[in-house]
């Protein structure tokens, strides 16, 4: 998808109001945080979040971080245990992301969590980011604002070099101070370092008086996305189905006769937006055998097919 052009917004009241308006309208705005520039979308809108994946050209659905203006705003989305609360009070606003159990009724799109029961949340420490989040008044899903597989951007120019014409706007707030992504930690029974980043693991351990489990292999940090056993429905899944068997429920795509259709019109953004909640719906309905229509492999189709392949893979 190529938009006409990407607006460059300045750091003033009218620029921020425009950015907030674009987010409310389901558009994409890149904005600076103290770590790196994020590519923001309304975290409550399936369609808006699907556009993030499309713009970045991500070949898979990795869960995203929800950015909020305050601890109070985060508490509306996730459950804080004592450890999480202590960490938030010590390091927020700042370069620490907490992965915590999602509250029911949070309204966060399943595309943000990639269907997981947890959500990554962060209060960024950047005046522009915080004003934008306050003005917008809701959670903003934002991965780093680069094309998939490229280096994270620390200036508005970096953002434009990859995403010009693919996103609605970028707020130019100058270079990011930390320049390194946030540290990601999950709490619960065994607090775990999921990604090293802007806040030292040692400082986190000192704060909670506990050693973090390192989700790191040798010297190579694992992407948290890879460590997770991603959501899969409990029924068997068969892909690329053009002839549905009598015992199967069809998850359709395009002009097929199916109660659940990812996109009747064959729109991949719509299909991505529907994917996780439809898989959940099939699960809740007790579907034992799920057939899925063929889905094109271009654009967002790559990520959709990747997700479906995982859902269809044999499980132990």
For ligand TXA, the closer of residues 35 and 263 by Cβ is: 35
Look-up of token digits 């997700």: 307
109 binds ligand TXA (CB under 6 A): no
143 binds ligand TXA (CB under 6 A): yes
62 binds Mg ion (CB under 5 A): no
Q: Maximum distance among all alpha carbons in the chain?
A: 60
Complete DSSP assignment for 35-72? SSEEEEEETT-HHHHHHHHHHHT-SS----EEE-SSHH
List of residues 6+ apart from 302 with CB closer than 8 A:
59, 60
From the list Mg ion, ligand TXA, none, which binds 33 (C-beta under 5 to 8 Å, kind-based)? ligand TXA
Identify the H or E element spanning 141.
strand 140-141
Phi, psi of 143 (to 5 degrees): -85, 175
Q: Binding to Mg ion (CB under 5 A): which residues in 125-184?
A: 144
Choice from 19, 55, 68, 99 touching ligand TXA (CB under 6 A): 99
For Mg ion, the closer of residues 85 and 150 by Cβ is: 150
From the list ligand TXA, Mg ion, none, which binds 78 (C-beta under 5 to 8 Å, kind-based)? none
User: What is the SS3 string spanning 154-172?
Assistant: CCHHHHHHHHCCCCCEEEC
Return d(Cα 278, Cα 189) in angstroms, integer: 31
97 binds ligand TXA (CB under 6 A): yes
293 binds ligand TXA (CB under 6 A): no
30 within 8 A of 167, measured Cβ to Cβ: yes
- Dihedral (C-alpha) 215, 217, 222, 225: value to the nearest 10 degrees? -50
From the list Mg ion, ligand TXA, none, which binds 99 (C-beta under 5 to 8 Å, kind-based)? ligand TXA
For ligand TXA, the closer of residues 68 and 119 by Cβ is: 119
From the list ligand TXA, Mg ion, none, which binds 38 (C-beta under 5 to 8 Å, kind-based)? ligand TXA
For ligand TXA, the closer of residues 47 and 230 by Cβ is: 230
Given the rule CB under 5 A, which residues bind Mg ion?
Answer: 144
Given the rule CB under 6 A, which residues bind ligand TXA?
Answer: 33, 35-36, 38, 62-65, 97, 99, 113, 116, 118-120, 122, 142-144, 181-182, 184, 194-195, 223-225, 228
């Amino acid at each position: 998808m190529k938009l006409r052009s990407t607006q460059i917004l300045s750091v003033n009241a009218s620029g921020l109001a425009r950015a907030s308006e674009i987010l409310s309208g389901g558009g994409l705005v890149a904005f600076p945080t103290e770590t790196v520039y994020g590519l923001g979308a309304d975290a409550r809108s399936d369609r808006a979040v699907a556009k993030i994946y499309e713009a970045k050209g991500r070949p898979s659905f990795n869960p995203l971080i929800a950015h909020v203006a305050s601890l109070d705003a985060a508490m509306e989305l996730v459950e804080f245990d004592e450890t999480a609360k202590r960490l938030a009070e010590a390091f927020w606003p700042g370069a620490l992301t907490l992965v915590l159990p999602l509250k029911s009724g949070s309204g966060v799109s399943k595309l943000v969590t990639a269907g997981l029961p947890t959500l990554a949340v962060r209060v960024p420490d950047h005046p522009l980011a915080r004003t934008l989040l306050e003005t917008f008044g809701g959670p903003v899903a934002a991965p780093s604002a680069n094309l998939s597989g490229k280096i994270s951007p620390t200036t508005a120019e970096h953002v434009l070099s990859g995403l010009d014409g693919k996103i609605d706007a970028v707020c130019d707030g100058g270079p990011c101070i930390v320049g390194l992504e946030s540290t990601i930690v999950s709490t619960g029974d065994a607090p775990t370092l999921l990604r090293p980043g802007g806040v030292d693991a040692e400082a986190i351990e000192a704060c909670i008086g506990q050693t973090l489990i390192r989700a790191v292999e040798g010297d190579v940090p694992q992407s948290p996305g890879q460590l997770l056993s991603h959501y899969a429905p409990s029924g068997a899944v068969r892909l690329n189905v053009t002839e549905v068997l009598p015992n199967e429920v069809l998850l359709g795509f395009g002009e097929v006769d199916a109660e659940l259709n990812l996109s009747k019109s064959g729109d991949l953004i719509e299909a991505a937006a529907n994917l996780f909640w439809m898989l959940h719906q099939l699960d809740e309905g007790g579907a034992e055998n799920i057939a899925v229509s063929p889905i094109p492999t271009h654009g967002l189709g790559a990520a959709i097919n990747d997700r479906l392949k995982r859902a269809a893979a044999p499980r132990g």
